[in-house]
Structure 1
Amino acid sequence: MRGTGRPRTFTAAVVTACVLGSALQAGSAGAVAGCAQESGHWAPTGYVSAAAYGARGDGVTDDAAAVQCAVNSGSDVWFPTGTYELGASVSLPTALKLTGESDSPTPTVIRGTVPGLVLGETAAATNTTRTGTITLQDLFFDSIQVGVNGTRTSAVLERNVFSDARGHISQLNSPANQQLVLNRVIGTNRVTDSVFLHGDRSTDAVAMSLYRTTGLSIQRNVIGLELSESGRLEDWPGHANWTERSSDGTVNPSPARVSLPAKLAALRTALALGDSQGHYRSGLYTGFDSLLNVDSNIFDADPATPSLRDHAAYLKGVSGRFTRNWIRGWPNAAEGGVKVRNSDGPLTVGANRLVDTPVLLYVYSDPTYPLTLRDVDVCANVLEVATHDDPAHAGITYYENVRPAGLSGIRVHRNTFADPTHTTGVTAGQLAPAVLSQTEADAITVYASNSYQDTGGTVPVTVPAGITLAPVAGAPASDACGGLTAPSYAARAYGG
């Protein structure tokens, strides 16, 4: 529904993408020649309409220059429903919102048209003076990478959808095909209630890639989806935030937003998306992120993905919490599950439900990351085991390939193993040329509170010959998973 100048009832949506570095300041002159605002284009209070600067949203016209003009106006930008093709990068200042329409079943789509396209700049910004919050809400990004860089920038992304109908994610960051990149953002940061789709089996896609973020919260997102089953998203915790009325005081809070399944159905038809949208190398890739909170997300990859698999969540050098997530589709092997590597903690991996995929604790020889694993709790997870293709890496495992490895305070407690064979448990091993020492094994405490779901019996602990690591009674002095319960979710198998 395109605004025509007459007031109407509307619940706004926000789309913002910005990367600091050489990003244009709001109101900068001369960045785009011939910028002129036309009257008669409705927008919520405090916003300007992208249509007022000539953006057509017809899925054909290159709207990059018009969008840049709207951004340079200094106001938050609203996008009427439509498909906005961008054939060039759009550079955004900090403290800016771009808003899409949420009361229409047709989503607001931002699409890339050339390889190397990104919203914002490419620099891993070192600017220390520019501050602000980059906000993206209710946008559908297709075949485009969204990147936010900035040492004094906050990023807020809510109710967005990322897809890749063109078989590549246009990008400037490496490696290729990262849909969302957050680099050095700090402060009140969050990525919530969003959906990540990728249907191309030939590329190694990563949904979210992080580096040196601080205080980032990733909650209630869906990574991977069988689109024919999108109606089941009504059981997903983030679903309500797509249908409730807007809490944005600058926008009329009525009527209610259109539901996510309705918009996904429209997107599927418009972009000719296939059913399987879960072809991911990794759902979440991190590096030196501190105070990270990853909670109540769904990681649901298509197990038929033939390309490289590199963990549902790869947590490198991270502190924070990874809790109450539902994970399926990565193998019950060394490439699967949740991998924690080279961390100084504190870090809690707790109350997650892992369907046929493990928790992996590693120290690798790496010149970038510390050769340590410290202050890590693995607790209250439920591990459902149906396959035993790689018993050495199933369940909860610790491995190292470097000596010496600095280990301390690794606690494994109150995990439940749903394995009818009663063979999956806890493994502490070694990778050549390293050899696990008794001192290192003593830094790992496995509690007798880990049990099998059907019998309550204590799970086995497997270690190299000559090493002692037996389950101990009791509990840690402080339960990092106290009050947390692993989620359940009624997702059907891909192609089912």
Structure 2
Amino acid sequence: MYASEFGIVANSKVDQSDKIEEALRVSAEKGQELVFEDGVYLISRDIIITDDTNMRAENIGGAVFKSPEDDLPVKVTNGGWSGERIDEAKISGFIFDNVTVSFNGKVDNIEVSQNAFVNATPNAKDVEWNGQGKKSVSDTLHFYGANGTFKVEDNVFLANKTDEDGPAGIAAIKTYDTEDTQITGNLIGGINKATLDRPEYSDEIKALLSAVQAHDASVDVNDSGYLQTGIKAVQDDRLQIDGNWISANTSEEYHRDHAIYMHNFRDGEITDNYVAGWPDNAGGGVKLRNGSGLEVTDNTLDGVSFLTYIHGGKNRDQFFNDITIADNVIKSAYKPIQFWASDTGAEVENFVISSNKILKTGSGGSDIQLITDQSAGQKFDSSDILVYGNEKFDGKPVSISTPNGPNYTVPDSDPVVDRVDPAPAEPKPTPTPEPVTEEAKPEPAPTPAPVEEVSEDITLSIVDTNSNISVGKLEGGTEISLAQIEAGFSIEALVDDPTVGSVTFSIDGGPPKVENHLPYALFGDSKKLLNPGEIAEGKHVMTVKAFTGEKGTGTLVAETEYSFEVVADKDAVQPDDGSDALEFSFFDAKTDVESKKLVDNMKIDADDLSEATTIAARGQSDDNDIAYVVLTLEGHTVTERIEPYALFGDGNGGTDLLGGRSFDAGSYELEYAVYGDKNTLIEEGSVNFDII
């Protein structure tokens, strides 16, 4: 459907707001895409969109939504918590001129891609800022996403200087309390201070920049980083910030709140981003505060630094656990990497700073600075932070300082240092073997035996993380397929000793990963469901140790060491689905999209299922003799004669699943009976599963 079909007129001086909103409602109800032809569409109020909205510019950057330039921006929005529920929406290809996009409340699966945001008027306010006097601060956001799952990809966010006196800048992206959100491939500000090698813009970004210049020549795409914040993320779970260009103008007139500011996070990654042009001080750079499970790798920080903080007090997450900052390139005159712990109650565990390349351009100070408030009574010690393998641009070792005294023991650059063993007076060999270094690692034979004696108290289980079911044991000479790892993989240590307080995992002599609670899993867990992770193709040695105390302290009670190999030419092992005749899956009955395979005895996160979930089955082979299937769950029984055999039935020849329900936490049993011709019973049984 095209916008012109609804009487919407481009390049008119007449407000098109009412017609646009009505056209979006009708097209969404019909499940059709609404395409906007090239031109400028004047709007003067918020545009409220509904579920299943799919709006697209006919050509990238060809359609422009514009509100009056002297007014505060209007929004394309769901209307916040008072709006209707949106389970899916797409916005693609527009230039938003003094128009922002905002989703908050009952929303999910929102995709905003290949758009350009320009000329947003800051809503500036003078406020007292952290004892620094009055600061001009703005709450204008190009994009805001809260309480759902979002994909923000290949967009351009620009902010030109709007006042010679230096008003507040605007924020490009803010997220709050989202899950599995992806912020990827966006250009935030114009790269005007690049001094290091930076990746080339994508074709989508180049097309948008050209379209912006064609629309408004006053927008300087090379000097459009008058931003207050690049990306601000608060209380997000599993957020990905990957492959973005994030720049700003270094003007000190503007209040800054960081290129990336991420706090109270649970799992996620910041990878392959290029950050430049921000003030090289405490207001610029990449700031990480309070959270767990974050990988920060392969980024380039050009003239800015990493600022990592842990606070107690009222923060949701009063810890800084399982954080890795590795393989980044950092050029800064300030403090290339700084860690600061303050406030009573702050907890740190398994914080790793490794293999970063650092150029400190300013005089004085160290490359890595670790600061703790000695009066705060921190809940961590030197075993909780590892710093190794970092070097300067010229290959020399980095300098590391701990200004408040010996609160940390910084290991040597050699990752063989075993931070979890009780520290002896001198680093002498212990009766148990040290982790095998890359240089000393033996080449295992074609069918190698375990490298060392194996304790019967530890069993290593290979787990399919999609179902949380074991698909085999890790033993000497075990081969694990890359397909298994890519499908969702972890290793769980099963320890037959009630005194165990923690378990450590180390691969190829690398830094140990510490697990302080069940399940003891190589990549950790979320709500007792194992997180997936990766191991590179090739031969490896894994060492697993069990201790009586937390954080790898106390008495070593068990140890296992195995050699194994990750291979490419091998199929993944699938969990037993519990039936020879049928294969089962969870589906979202509203979208008919498969959510997850269902196999016997699996565990699944309730958040992975929609409020309209159904279960459907198909025959295991094309040449089956199934006449009908009877399914029963919690007293609800259905007889289905056509694939898919759906728990709540289906229409349109099986293409439209019906019904659906929500699943609360608990244990469930799906009973099934498969019949052939003349009511012959082919198979009957049940599939059990737990919702966590």
TM-score (norm. length: structure 1): 0.73
Structure 2 partner of 1:90: 47
Task: Call closer, same or farther: CA 1:117–1:152 in 2, change over 3 Å.
Answer: closer
Task: Call closer, same or farther: CA 1:417–1:236 in 2, change over 3 Å.
Answer: closer
For the residue of structure 1 that corresponds to 2:409, the secondary structure is coil
> In the TM superposition, what is the alpha-carbon distance from 1:78 to its structure 2 partner?
1.2
2:88 pairs, out of 113, 116, 133, with 133
Structure 2 partner of 1:419: 360
Cα distance in 2 for partners of 1:434, 1:335 equals: 26
User: How many residue pairs get matched?
Assistant: 396
Bigger shift: 131-140 or 359-368? Answer: 359-368
Query: Given that residues 417 and 425 in structure 1 are in contact (C-alpha distance below 8 angstroms), is that contact kept between their aligned partners in structure 2?
Result: yes
Structure 2 partner of 1:442: 383
Give the alignment of 1:23-38 within 5 angstroms: none
> In the TM superposition, what is the alpha-carbon distance from 1:155 to its structure 2 partner?
1.1
Task: Call closer, same or farther: CA 1:352–1:90 in 2, change over 3 Å.
Answer: same
The reply to whether residue 216 of structure 1 matches residue 185 of structure 2 is no
Deviation string 1:185-238 (CA, Å, 9 cap, x unpaired) is: 13xx311111100013412311001001111111111100169x99xxxx8555
Task: Call closer, same or farther: CA 1:375–1:166 in 2, change over 3 Å.
Answer: closer
Query: Given that residues 138 and 169 in structure 2 are in contact (C-alpha distance below 8 angstroms), is that contact kept between their aligned partners in structure 1?
Result: no
Structure 2 partner of 1:476: 511
For the residue of structure 2 that corresponds to 1:262, the secondary structure is helix
Cα distance in 2 for partners of 1:165, 1:110 equals: 12
For the residue of structure 2 that corresponds to 1:281, the secondary structure is strand
Q: Unaligned stretches of 5+ in structure 2?
A: 125-136, 416-509, 514-522, 524-532, 537-692
2:21 pairs, out of 38, 43, 68, with 68
Structure 2 partner of 1:240: 203
For the residue of structure 1 that corresponds to 2:254, the secondary structure is coil
Give the root-mean-square deviation of aligned CA atoms. Answer: 3.0
Cα distance in 2 for partners of 1:437, 1:147 equals: 39
Q: Unaligned stretches of 5+ in structure 1?
A: 1-46, 244-258, 389-393, 484-496
Query: Given that residues 220 and 298 in structure 1 are in contact (C-alpha distance below 8 angstroms), is that contact kept between their aligned partners in structure 2?
Result: yes
Query: Given that residues 78 and 100 in structure 1 are in contact (C-alpha distance below 8 angstroms), is that contact kept between their aligned partners in structure 2?
Result: yes
Structure 1 partner of 2:268: 320
Query: Given that residues 352 and 385 in structure 2 are in contact (C-alpha distance below 8 angstroms), is that contact kept between their aligned partners in structure 1?
Result: yes
Deviation string 1:433-476 (CA, Å, 9 cap, x unpaired) is: 854759344321111x0111203324323342243422332142
Cα distance in 2 for partners of 1:63, 1:84 equals: 7
Give, as a single letter, the amino acid of the residue that structure 1 aligns with 2:343: V
> In the TM superposition, what is the alpha-carbon distance from 1:407 to its structure 2 partner?
1.1
Cα distance in 1 for partners of 2:407, 2:221 equals: 51
> In the TM superposition, what is the alpha-carbon distance from 1:111 to its structure 2 partner?
1.7
The reply to whether residue 192 of structure 1 matches residue 192 of structure 2 is no
Structure 2 partner of 1:154: 109
Structure with greater Cα Rg: 2
Cα distance in 2 for partners of 1:357, 1:165 equals: 26
> In the TM superposition, what is the alpha-carbon distance from 1:291 to its structure 2 partner?
0.9
Give, as a single letter, the amino acid of the residue that structure 2 aligns with 1:277: S
Cα distance in 1 for partners of 2:76, 2:317 equals: 33
Q: Which has the higher contact order (CA 8 A, sep 6+)?
A: 1
For the residue of structure 1 that corresponds to 2:314, the secondary structure is coil
Cα distance in 1 for partners of 2:512, 2:13 equals: 62
Give the alignment of 1:86-485 within 5 angstroms: 86-102=43-59, 107-113=62-68, 114-115=71-72, 117-124=74-81, 130=85, 132-164=87-119, 176-186=139-149, 189-199=150-160, 200=162, 201-225=166-190, 239-241=202-204, 259-269=207-217, 276-318=223-265, 319-343=267-291, 345-385=292-332, 387-388=333-334, 394-419=335-360, 424-430=366-372, 434-435=375-376, 437=378, 439-447=380-388, 449-472=389-412, 473-474=414-415, 475-477=510-512
Query: Given that residues 349 and 379 in structure 1 are in contact (C-alpha distance below 8 angstroms), is that contact kept between their aligned partners in structure 2?
Result: yes
Deviation string 1:81-136 (CA, Å, 9 cap, x unpaired) is: 11111112211112111111217xx7211123343622124424797xx4532111
Give, as a single letter, the amino acid of the residue that structure 2 aligns with 1:445: L
Structure 2 partner of 1:52: 5
Deviation string 1:294-344 (CA, Å, 9 cap, x unpaired) is: 11111110101512111110001122000111111222222121111111x
Task: Call closer, same or farther: CA 1:295–1:67 in 2, change over 3 Å.
Answer: same
Bigger shift: 114-123 or 408-417? Answer: 114-123
Query: Given that residues 379 and 481 in structure 1 are in contact (C-alpha distance below 8 angstroms), is that contact kept between their aligned partners in structure 2?
Result: no
Task: Call closer, same or farther: CA 1:434–1:308 in 2, change over 3 Å.
Answer: farther
Give, as a single letter, the amino acid of the residue that structure 2 aligns with 1:350: T
Give, as a single letter, the amino acid of the residue that structure 1 aligns with 2:95: F
Cα distance in 1 for partners of 2:348, 2:237 equals: 19
For the residue of structure 2 that corresponds to 1:69, the secondary structure is helix
> In the TM superposition, what is the alpha-carbon distance from 1:146 to its structure 2 partner?
0.5
Query: Given that residues 21 and 47 in structure 2 are in contact (C-alpha distance below 8 angstroms), is that contact kept between their aligned partners in structure 1?
Result: yes
Task: Call closer, same or farther: CA 1:458–1:68 in 2, change over 3 Å.
Answer: closer
Give, as a single letter, the amino acid of the residue that structure 2 aligns with 1:425: D
Task: Call closer, same or farther: CA 1:332–1:92 in 2, change over 3 Å.
Answer: same
Identical aligned residues as a percent: 19
Give, as a single letter, the amino acid of the residue that structure 2 aligns with 1:469: T
TM-score (norm. length: structure 2): 0.53
Structure 2 partner of 1:251: none
Q: Give 1 or 2: higher strand fraction.
A: 2
> In the TM superposition, what is the alpha-carbon distance from 1:240 to its structure 2 partner?
2.6
Cα distance in 1 for partners of 2:511, 2:83 equals: 41
For the residue of structure 2 that corresponds to 1:66, the secondary structure is helix
> In the TM superposition, what is the alpha-carbon distance from 1:404 to its structure 2 partner?
2.0
Query: Given that residues 212 and 219 in structure 2 are in contact (C-alpha distance below 8 angstroms), is that contact kept between their aligned partners in structure 1?
Result: no
Query: Given that residues 279 and 305 in structure 1 are in contact (C-alpha distance below 8 angstroms), is that contact kept between their aligned partners in structure 2?
Result: no
Give, as a single letter, the amino acid of the residue that structure 2 aligns with 1:111: K
Task: Call closer, same or farther: CA 1:460–1:267 in 2, change over 3 Å.
Answer: same
Give, as a single letter, the amino acid of the residue that structure 2 aligns with 1:457: P
> In the TM superposition, what is the alpha-carbon distance from 1:52 to its structure 2 partner?
2.1
Task: Call closer, same or farther: CA 1:126–1:291 in 2, change over 3 Å.
Answer: farther
